[in-house]
């Protein structure tokens, strides 16, 4: 058996130290307002544009798109330092962490050059258009359609998308549309990139449980999109979309740094309270689970660097991080007692953690995927 050395190499340690120094000097002193409010979103963008100016927005990307060509290990180190420094949540995450890996994999050189630099610079802001009123878990049930406009060299999109996170503040949407109604459910779908200021698009924001207005419904009425905004081939959309959902469930959306930092904050909170043995045990369990998630991710990254694609196993990540997030926040709430109602950071974090088992595909669906496609159990 080969021993794995998980310590930073000298180069990685140098990269980490540079990131830490910059973040310590630049992270806003006070938390920004929620990025799911209009005011907060604008403040977050200011921060993200600073990150971009200093080449910290997309560290693993090529230099010509604003990155530093950081390795996967360096990216993980950056994420750890980012959260440890208490830096703001990234409101551009649906672009840089979900769409971008798909553009790198399926985009033409023209699409990469056109889309990625503006995304990195937080000039184009992307939201995700999968869900529809009649299609959530069963994504292949989508009915929004795209009809070929041969003369104009493109497609005419119609239908309704819903639950688009921060859609009310974004400039572009990526989503699936039915291009061949006669084909089977998973076939005949195409992945489109849609500017939200195109004629025929109506975006209607609506509120969430915590009062923020970051969700939107997007209505499309005969919206023209040129052929150059098809990502990955006509009728190939399902395969392309699965690459995006793999990023959302797997490595990129919820890196371990986020949970390691939360676990450290939880330990600090426990030190400042007089917690009984059962609560102390839950604090220790949460901290250990955050470390375990880091080890799990490191295992996955080692595999990826050896040429292994996680595929359906990204559903395991999703189960791990979404349940861990609730565990951390529930423990904090119990430590705080009634005070948790007035502790904004933990209480908002708790409310948002409850959404974790729903977004990025519900945990029931992830368990089905793990059962059938990772463990090879018979279909239910
Ligand atoms: C915070 C948040 C952000 C989101 N952001 C976006 C976004 O940006 N873009 C976007 O397109 N969507 C987004 N969504 C929507 C999300 O993807 C859907 O809510 C999710 O896929 C579930 O779909 P649904 O709400 O229609 O529930 P349904 O599919 O109706 O499911 C209802 C319940 O039935 C269960 N269920 C359904 N089918 C099965 C099955 N076969 N086996 C077992 N159980 C089953 C589900 O697990 C769930 O508990 C977001 C959701 C949340 C909460």
CA of 135, closest atom in ligand 1: 26
Q: What angle do CA 36, 38, 41 make, to 5 degrees?
A: 60
Per-residue pLDDT at 310? 84
Q: What distance lies between CA 180 and its chain's CA centroid?
A: 29
Distance 178 CA to ligand 1 centre (A): 20
CB 101 within 8 Å of CB 42:
no
* Helix boundaries (H) for 272-377: 277-305, 314-336, 344-353, 363-369
Q: Is the CB of 370 under 6 A from ligand 1?
A: no
Average pLDDT on 153-161 reads: 98
CA angle 235, 216, 140 (to 5 degrees): 30
Beta bridge partners of 276: none
Chain segment 87-132, per-residue pLDDT in tens: 999 999 999 999 999 999 999 999 999 999 999 999 999 999 999 9
Candidate from 319, 359, 368 with most ligand 1 atoms within 8 A of CB, to mutate: 359
Does ligand 1 come within 6 angstroms of the Cβ of 128?
A: yes
- If DSSP codes are grouped into helix, strand and coil, which group holds residue 242? helix
- Rounded CA-CA distance 29/119 in Å is 26
For residue 230, the 8-state DSSP code is B
Angle at CA 340, nearest 5°, toward 334 and 343?
A: 140
Predicted confidence band at 342 (pLDDT cuts at 50, 70, 90)? Answer: confident
What is the per-residue pLDDT across 159-213, written as a single tens digit (0 to 9) for each? 999 999 999 999 999 999 999 999 888 899 999 999 999 999 999 998 877 777 7
User: For residue 135, what is the DSSP state?
Assistant: B
Residue 140 Cβ contacting ligand 1 at under 6 Å = no
Q: What is the pLDDT of residue 252?
A: 80
Residues ≥6 apart with Cβ < 8 Å to 202: 218, 219, 221
| Alpha-carbon span 361 to 215, nearest angstrom | 17
Distance from the CA of 165 to the center of ligand 1, in angstroms? Answer: 13
Residues whose CB falls within 8 Å of the CB of residue 12, separated by 6 or more in sequence, listed in order:
71, 73, 74, 77
- The average pLDDT across 252-258 equals 88
Whether 1 has a pLDDT exceeding 60, the answer reads no
- How are beta strands 201-206 and 145-149 bridged, if at all? unpaired
Phi, psi of 68 (to 5 degrees): -125, 10
Within a 10 A sphere around the Cβ of 28, how many other Cβ atoms?
14
**Cα dist. 213→36, 164, 175, 187, 210 in Å?**
6, 11, 21, 34, 9
User: 137 C-alpha vs ligand 1 centroid, how far in Å?
Assistant: 5
CA dist 235 and 16 (Å) reads 43
User: How many whole angstroms from 61 Cα to the centroid of ligand 1?
Assistant: 31
Neighbours of 227 (CB within 10 A): 12
pTM of the model: 0.95
On average, the pLDDT of the chain sits at 93
Tell me the per-residue pLDDT of 268-325, one tens digit each, with 9 for 90 and over. Answer: 999 998 788 999 999 999 999 999 999 999 998 888 888 888 888 999 999 999 999 9
Closest CA to 80 of 268, 260, 292, 329: 260
Locate tokens 């007692």: which residue?
337
Residue 355 has pLDDT above 70, yes or no: yes
């Amino acid at each position: 058996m080969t021993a794995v050395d998980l310590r930073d190499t000298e180069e990685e340690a140098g990269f980490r130290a540079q990131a830490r120094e910059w973040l310590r000097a630049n992270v806003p002193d006070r938390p920004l307002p929620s990025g799911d409010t209009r005011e907060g979103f604008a403040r977050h963008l200011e921060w993200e544009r600073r990150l971009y100016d200093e080449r910290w927005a997309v560290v693993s990307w090529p230099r010509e798109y604003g990155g530093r060509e950081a390795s996967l290990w360096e990216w993980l180190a950056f994420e750890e330092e980012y959260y440890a420094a208490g830096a703001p949540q990234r409101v551009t995450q649906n672009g840089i962490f979900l769409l971008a890996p798909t553009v790198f994999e399926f985009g033409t050189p023209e699409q990469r050059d056109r889309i990625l630099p503006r995304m990195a610079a937080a000039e184009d802001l992307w939201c995700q258009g999968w869900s529809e009123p009649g299609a959530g878990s069963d994504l292949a049930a989508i009915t929004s359609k795209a009809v070929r406009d041969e003369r104009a060299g493109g497609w005419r999109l119609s239908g309704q998308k819903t639950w688009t996170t921060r859609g009310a503040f974004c400039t572009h949407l990526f989503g699936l549309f039915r291009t061949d109604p006669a084909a089977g459910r998973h076939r005949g779908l195409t992945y489109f990139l849609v500017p939200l200021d195109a004629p025929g698009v109506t975006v209607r924001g609506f509120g969430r449980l915590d009062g923020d207005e970051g969700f939107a419904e997007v209505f499309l009425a005969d919206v023209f999109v040129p052929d150059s905004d098809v990502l990955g081939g006509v009728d190939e959309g399902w395969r392309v979309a699965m690459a995006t959902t793999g990023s959302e469930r797997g490595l990129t959306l919820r890196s371990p740094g986020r949970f390691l930092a939360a676990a450290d904050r939880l330990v600090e909170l426990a030190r400042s309270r007089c917690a009984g043995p059962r609560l102390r045990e839950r604090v220790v369990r949460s901290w250990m689970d955050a470390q375990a998630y880091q080890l799990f991710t490191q295992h996955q990254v080692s595999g990826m660097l050896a040429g292994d694609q996680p595929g359906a196993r990204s559903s395991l990540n999703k189960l791990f991080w979404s349940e861990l997030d609730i565990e951390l926040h529930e423990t904090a709430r119990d430590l705080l007692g009634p005070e948790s109602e007035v502790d904004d950071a933990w209480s908002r974090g708790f409310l948002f953690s409850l959404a974790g088992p729903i977004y990025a595909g519900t945990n029931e669906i992830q368990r089905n995927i793990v059962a059938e496609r990772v463990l090879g159990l018979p279909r239910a």
